[in-house]
Structure 1
Amino acid sequence: QGAATTQEFYAKNSRWTEGLISASKAVGWGATQLVESADRVVLHTGKYEELIVCSHEIAASTAQLVAASKVKAEKSSRNLGRLQECSRNVNEMAANVVASTKSGQEQIEEKDTMDFSGMSLIKLKKEEMETQVKVLELEKRLEGERVRLGELRKQHYALAGTYDAAEDGEAKPAPAPRRGILKKPPLAQKP
């Protein structure tokens, strides 16, 4: 819009263009990860949860791509309409992958039904306590992983947009700021 040539448009809107390209690459990367995860699950070396995470990542990246496209596109643009329709299809397919994954996972887990009929009262109580210990351990580990995920996301957002052009033409992240530089000075002590 408003630029004489395509080259001038991209030169004028380079930051937006980089965001659009980044969102496109994220969709492609997510699709690649989904295929690789599916291969691992079929070979019994992967986890069903990987498929779910990849599906969510593809849907989120597609939404980012549409949002980035809307910034510069005309509201009545036929291409934008097609992109939005494709985005809806991607979301629907991602939801289908998640539903199919959960269904397959449930079918496999149904085979492992628990039979406690032959256990004594004491054995049942011992098993119950051991299971409670495992639940507490898993909850602690889950909380730790949630904190780690939050820190990873913070770092991702901090690095997003702070890329330097490398000598070979590829982008690489700028060095992260050192924590020592960002520390607040010590408070003055009262005499």
Structure 2
Amino acid sequence: MVDAADLVVQGKGKFEELMVCSHEIAASTAQLVAASKVKADKDSTNLVKLQQASRSVNQATAGVVASTKSGKSQIEEKDTMDFSSMTLTQIKRQEMDSQVRVLELENQLQKERQRLGDLRKKHYELAGVAEGWGDGTE
């Protein structure tokens, strides 16, 4: 996450990468707490401390995501287009170009969602094998 934040600050990274890192940290922390609840005594003081730390991590990552979204929107506000000097034909051409770009991005998004689903499926399969749930060929 620190590397992603450094890249964003330098203008070389993407805000989305920073948000994904924050979500992954929160998810990993939740998994750690869940696994600890299974193995620890329910009256364990260490478990209580871990749960408190988990809440702090969630608050911190939520703050990072909120700050990232805010920073991103401030930068995007500066990049608004000036249509005042454009002719009707130029505006129509820009509109058509924008529609083409939207369709391209929607197609890319659909493909990337499929890829993400395939990656998650494989991850779950490998995690199951590592935990002894099966041999991975089911």
TM-score normalized by the length of structure 2: 0.91
Equivalent pairs counted in the alignment come to 134
Question: Could you say which residue in structure 2 is the equivalent of 1:54?
Answer: 21
- Does residue 115 of structure 1 match 2:55? no
Superposed CA deviations along residues 111-169 of structure 1, whole A, max 9, x for unmatched, are 11211011111211111111000000000000100000000000111111434xxxxxx
Displacement of 1:43: 2.1
What is the aligned counterpart of 2:110 among 143, 148, 160?
143
Question: Could you say which residue in structure 2 is the equivalent of 1:85?
Answer: 52
Q: Which ranges in structure 1 are unaligned for 5 or more consecutive residues?
A: 1-33, 164-175, 183-191
Provide the C-alpha distance between the structure 2 equivalents of 1:121 and 1:161, rounded to a whole number of angstroms.
59
Q: Which ranges in structure 2 are unaligned for 5 or more consecutive residues?
A: 131-135
Provide the C-alpha distance between the structure 1 equivalents of 2:31 and 2:68, rounded to a whole number of angstroms.
24
Q: How does 1:99-178 map to 2 (within 5 A)?
A: 99-163=66-130
What amino acid sits opposite 2:10 in the alignment?
L
Provide the C-alpha distance between the structure 1 equivalents of 2:10 and 2:86, rounded to a whole number of angstroms.
36
- Bigger mean CA offset, 117-126 vs 88-97: 117-126
Provide the C-alpha distance between the structure 1 equivalents of 2:125 and 2:114, rounded to a whole number of angstroms.
16
Provide the C-alpha distance between the structure 2 equivalents of 1:36 and 1:56, rounded to a whole number of angstroms.
15
Larger radius of gyration: 1
Superposed CA deviations along residues 7-53 of structure 1, whole A, max 9, x for unmatched, are xxxxxxxxxxxxxxxxxxxxxxxxxxx01111211222211111000
Provide the C-alpha distance between the structure 1 equivalents of 2:65 and 2:37, rounded to a whole number of angstroms.
27
Question: Could you say which residue in structure 1 is the equivalent of 2:42?
Answer: 75
Provide the C-alpha distance between the structure 2 equivalents of 1:78 and 1:118, rounded to a whole number of angstroms.
67
Aligned-pair RMSD on alpha carbons? 1.6
Flag the structure with more relative contact order, 1 or 2, with Cα contacts below 8 A and sequence separation at least 6. 2
The structure carrying a bigger helix percent of its residues is 2
What amino acid sits opposite 1:117 in the alignment?
S
- Bigger mean CA offset, 65-74 vs 35-44: 35-44
Structure 1 stretches of at least 4 aligned residues deviating more than 6 Å after TM superposition:
none
What amino acid sits opposite 1:55 in the alignment?
S
Kindly, what percent of the aligned residue pairs are identical? Answer: 65
